[in-house]
Amino acid sequence: MPELILVAASGLAREVLASMRTSGSSNVVGVLDDDPALAGEHFDGLPVLGRITDATAFPTASFVLCAGKGSTREKIAFVLAGMGIGSVRYASFVDRSAVVSEDSVIGAGCILLANVVLTAGVRLGSHVVAMPNVTFTHDDEVDDFATLAAGVSLGGGVHIGRRAYLGMNSAVREHLSVGSGATVGMGAVVLRDMPDDATWVGVPARSVHAGKKQPGAGTENGRG
């Protein structure tokens, strides 16, 4: 089993490391992070081995991108790709309590934490993060760098776009799409297709801009 290096000293990295240690299968040798204050320090007992651009100093290691934001994971992957580090150098981590059907596909560098379930025919792109208790039901498709917070539930045939973020305990009804770069708020329930880069909250979920008064609307002299 190749040595693993976590990229980004983050809360997500701590959770991944804790899950690995609980499973007794941790082969993580250190962390890479660009914060100069961490140089030569330790992170949860692991040495900080250098900056992200020092990844080439470890030609036999595999990497797990642990930045919490999908857009940041995407930027790191772009930097590493420019250094010749591609998908074959990324390891996926699946907690031992996760349930993954035989016909589901997990892309390079994915992170699936405790009690995540992929029921049937689920396809995850690269560097998708699923926090504890996320449920993917049949035929869901999740694009690269998406992040699903704890307790998210997707109905069957849902498509989640690149870099989308779904907040804790949110849900998406079957056969809907959440656009690239979109944000679903905590506890929100998505009942219709959601466009790219939108932010929706509530039950049912709707744009955070919906219902806001325009300046001067509804009162004289624009006073509310």
Tens-digit pLDDT profile for residues 52-75: 999 999 999 999 999 999 999 999
Tens-digit pLDDT profile for residues 88-116: 999 999 999 999 999 999 999 999 999 99
Cβ partners under 8 Å of residue 209, min gap 6: none
Q: Where are the domains of the chain?
A: 4-89, 93-202
Residue spans of the chain under pLDDT 50 = 211-224
Pairing of strands 46-50, 42-43: antiparallel
- Per CATH, domain 93-202 is 2.160.10.10: yes
pLDDT of residue 153: 98
- 78-87 long-range CB contacts below 8 Å, 24 or more apart? 79/52, 79/53, 80/7, 80/52, 80/55, 83/53, 83/55, 83/56, 84/56, 85/55, 85/56, 87/126
The secondary structure of the chain in percent helix, strand, coil, rounded to multiples of 5, reads 20, 25, 55
Mean pLDDT taken over the chain = 92
The CATH number of domain 4-89, selected from 3.30.2350.10, 3.40.50.20, 3.20.10.10, 3.40.50.300? 3.40.50.20
pLDDT of residue 119: 98
pLDDT of residue 220: 30
pLDDT of residue 211: 46
pLDDT of residue 1: 63
